[in-house]
Structure 1
Amino acid sequence: MDAIVRIGSGAGFAGDRKDAAVPVVDMLAACAGPRFLVYETLAERTLALSRLARRHNPEGGYSPALEGLLAGVLVRCLDAGIRIVGNFGAANPLAGARRIAAMARAAGRTPRIAVVDGADISGRLTPEAFAARESGGRLLAGAPVPVSADVYIGARPIAEALDRGADIVVTGRIADPALVLGPLIHAHGWAEDDWDKLAAGTLAGHLLECGSQVSGGYFADPGFKAVPGLDEVGYPVAEIAADGSFVVTKPEGTGGRIDRLTVIEQMLYEIHDPAAYLTPDVVLDLTCVRVAEAGPHRVRVTGARGHRRPDTLKATVCVEAGVLAEAEISYAGPGAAARARLAADVVRARLARRVPGLALRIDAIGVSSLFNDTAGATLDAAFGGSAAEDVRLRFAAESTDGRMLELMLDEVEALYCAGPAGGAGVRRRLTPRLFSASCLVERDLVAPTVTLLETEAMEAAS
């Protein structure tokens, strides 16, 4: 086994920069030993939307960002022996793998592609059973039929896929740190119950999973936390030893910063209990972790401890939750704030008569938007002292009754001529809403599968 495994981040979410992985691949290609490029592209809502997309198109449902993220680096990775692991398979990992295979064939390459599937448990429990397992809420009360129900799978199936020779591993819903831990289990041969090493690999995955957040992206706050060259921020690379210690760094010549502060901030990001961060593979204890700078943009991380994995697995269950209606209109010039306030009052009064009971939110973007309340008190207070000459009003409401929402949209558009003066730039839209709930489910409900694409193709042909 090689002493050091290098793993680079290609994306921290589906909308990430499409060219972000290029410097990372250049750095990995110049190194020896096992090297991996990982892509984290899934969120709860993203996966639910992918499930809906697959309903309409059996060959859809994988991340629409897949092609853009891989186009600039796929061939380089294959030629340099850099193996790719990504959850861009979303609700249809097999179709995502086929699309990557087609991209590779078009470039004259024939990689071995593995598919990790089995996260979908929507058909394994009744709506009532999901509701009974909901954790920390009652969104599933009344037992609505799930749009999606996906378990966070652990790292072992990824390791198995790599053990079987895969150049590319395409997964669906998987625990984010598992994208890094899987390659480490494969490359270092870590045992299933070597809790401290699994914890260290999980920590490395947690630091890399959000891409450039650890190298200054989410850290940047002018006047408080300066980050140079943010327009070309470098995405992180971890160098992990067999004992679990690792260094976080980034490609030379890229912007951003990696130091104790950026690493510690990302280490605590989305951590509920630093002594017990629950993952499918291990319970990570951060309380003894040591973070030390080892050179420019190089931070050494040691001391992660692990405890036996949880008995249950987390599943995200998404259900339909009506429709969100949004409409916007602008007022500009002298008296803009007063005219915008009058427009808000007009729409509020008319809807109170025409659609009683509709909860309406009104924001004055740039004046009072992020911290507004649906009753309008904050908005009224903001307008009271506002001399703004450019106000964009946003009206929003949600309901399962489309007719009510169309009336709200119509009222905003009617402001064009019904007044007040000078309204312009109306935009209106309806967006289906999804609510997500967390459930804890028994491990025996989940049966992850690992399939090599060429094997799947031969079986289909026979």
Structure 2
Amino acid sequence: MSAAPFLVGNGAGFSGDRVDAPIPVVRTLVARGLPAALFLEVLGERTVALAQLERRRDPELGYEPMLERLLAPILADCHRHRIPILGNFGAANPPAAGRLIAALARRLGLPELRIAVVTGDDVQGSIDLGALAVHEADASLPADAARLVAANAYIGAGPLVEALRQGADVVVAGRTSDPALAIAQLLHHFGWAADDWEKLAVGAACGHLLECGSQVSGGVFWDPGRKDIPDPADIGFPIAEVTAEGGLVVTKADATGGVVDLRTVKEQLLYELHDPAHYITPDVVLDITGCTLEQLGPDRVAVRGLRGRPAPESLKVTACFEGSWLGEGEVSVAGPNALGRARATAEVLLERLRRRALPVRARVDLIGVASVHDSDDGALWRGYDGPEPPEIRIRLAAEGTDRGAVDQAAREALALLCCGTAGTGGARWRVTPRILTRSYLVPRALVPTGVTLRTAREMN
């Protein structure tokens, strides 16, 4: 057990995050000269389903599409300085992600890089979803087993710890819980017991605070003129300092923008916590009701008073099903009487759909007047009496199970471009599949996991 703090860095908070973000994090970890590890968290609820659709089109796809761009600038430095990289960037295809990393490592002259692939989260075909308890919030959602796209269990830190124990330099996983990516590092490094709930609570809070990348260092927090941050074009990603006794300090990469203070940490700590006394992860139930924060200095916040309870007996499985189709058509109006022309155009679009009797559910938004907070009946844009906007983007959205009908509805916006009644321009349309998610609870014993470790040379 080491007396020195262990550094946990984060280099991504979602799929498509900034590919340059891990570079200053790794640079900082190296400069501090302490034992450290890096994790990248790239999966949302529906990301695995989208990745599964990619895998259907090409068996060698289905992992994080930015994976090579994320790892190429940092892989050699992490390997040289013994900084393991953990990530759920395997998404729907961890083995293929492992092969991509191996190929990258060989190109970088790292043939002995050890890559561990964690499997077991994909439970399609191995679990009867119909026999499982449905999460209470999803009980009313429809589900058609024939249209199943993905079913993945949120696995905990166990197999990640095993991968690190075997000497992995890179750990490739699919659907893990976000906090597990940090908990695994701490369990492995400090030798904490898997049932030391107080220590695991620290690990869960560490992972939760860092999982969204720049969110804890000023990203979503930033509100210009109200909550300003320095250099928002280069917000630094977070780093946590953790001690064997369970001390936790949140900071960020050196020489970067953004800020870590009491406000940013509070906002991220409360993010997605439905019950502050009962935040469920596969490894521990976190209780933050006694948590206190202290600003230790610039961009350094200590987190104390965390409590943990035994891990739940069940794991969450998120199942994704093919849903309906979403069609979107957009055009712009600008200049004198933009509001009047936009309203008239919106009414024409809706009337066209009524007359064609297309089997779709549709709405129109006037972006710049009313969209985010409006309802399907367009009450806000119809009743708007504010200042005249200089320009408005008109968005028609149509949803239905018949792709052809949805496409035809969306194309009504295109018809306004050349021959429209109100001088529109900049038309576009597209049709995309919708994904329906439903969550289940599954006994742990039904989700066995596995770890395969090989060098980049062996993956050739």
Q: TM-score range by the shorter chain?
A: over 0.9
CA distance in 1, matches of 2:418, 2:165: 68
- Check if 1:443 corresponds to 2:421: no
Comparing 194-203 with 56-65, greater Cα deviation is found at: 56-65
Percent of aligned pairs with the same amino acid: 50
Which residue of structure 2 lines up, in the alignment, with residue 338 of structure 1?
A: 340
- Measure, in 2, the Cα distance between the counterparts of 1:220 and 1:415: 38
Structural mapping, 1:409-424, within 5 Å: 409-424=410-425
Superposition pairs of residues 58-457 of structure 1, within 5 angstroms: 58-109=59-110, 110-129=112-131, 132-137=133-138, 138-141=140-143, 143-355=145-357, 358-382=360-384, 384-385=385-386, 387-454=388-455, 457=458
Alpha carbons of structure 1 residues 371 and 192: separation in structure 2 relative to 1, 3 Å: same
| Count of residues in correspondence between the two structures | 457
Question: What residue identity is the alignment partner of 2:296?
Answer: A
TM-score w.r.t. the length of structure 1 is 0.95
Q: List alignment gaps of at least 5 residues for structure 1.
A: none
TM-superposition CA deviations, 1:343-380 (whole Å, max 9, x none): 11111112112126632110111111111211122221
**Is contact 1:127-1:145 (8 Å) kept?**
no
How far apart, CA to CA, are the structure 1 residues paired with 2:318 and 2:198? Answer: 27
Verify the 8 A CA contact 1:373 1:379 in the aligned structure 2. no
Does the 8 Å CA contact 1:134/1:140 hold for their aligned counterparts? no
Give the SS at the match of 1:30.
helix
Moved more, 403-412 or 187-196: 403-412
Cα pair distance change 1:413/1:251, threshold 3 Å? closer
SS state at 1:372 partner: coil
Q: Deviation of residue 71 (structure 1)?
A: 1.6
CA contact (8 A) 2:321 2:436 kept: yes
Following TM superposition, by how much is the alpha carbon of 1:193 offset from its aligned partner in structure 2, in angstroms?
0.9
Counterpart amino acid of 1:41? V
* Residue 252 (structure 1) shift: 2.6
> Using the alignment, how far apart are the partners of 1:160 and 1:410 within structure 2?
53
Cα distance in 2 between the residues matched to 1:347 and 1:199:
54
Q: Is the 8 A contact 1:2 1:33 kept in 2?
A: no
How far apart are the structure 2 equivalents of 1:160 and 1:38?
A: 16
Code of the aligned partner of 2:120: G
Q: CA shift at 1:455, angstroms?
A: 10
* Aligned equivalent of 2:11: 10
Structure 2 counterpart SS, 1:217: coil
With over 3 angstroms needed to count, the CA separation of the structure-2 counterparts of 1:117 and 1:425, relative to structure 1, is same
The one-letter code of the counterpart of 2:283 is: D
The 3 A distance-change label for structure 1 pair 455 and 367 is closer
- Shift of residue 2, structure 1, vs aligned partner: 1.7
SS in 1 for 2:361: coil
TM-score, normalization: structure 2? 0.95
Equivalent residues of 2:143, 2:438 under 8 A apart: no
CA contact (8 A) 2:359 2:405 kept: no
* Secondary structure of the structure 2 residue equivalent to 1:453: strand
Deviations 1:203-231 (A, max 9, x none): 11111111111111111112322211111
* CA–CA distance in structure 1, aligned partners of residues 416 and 34 of structure 2: 65
Please identify, of 142-151 and 262-271, the stretch whose mean Cα deviation from structure 2 is larger: 142-151
1:127 positional shift: 4.9
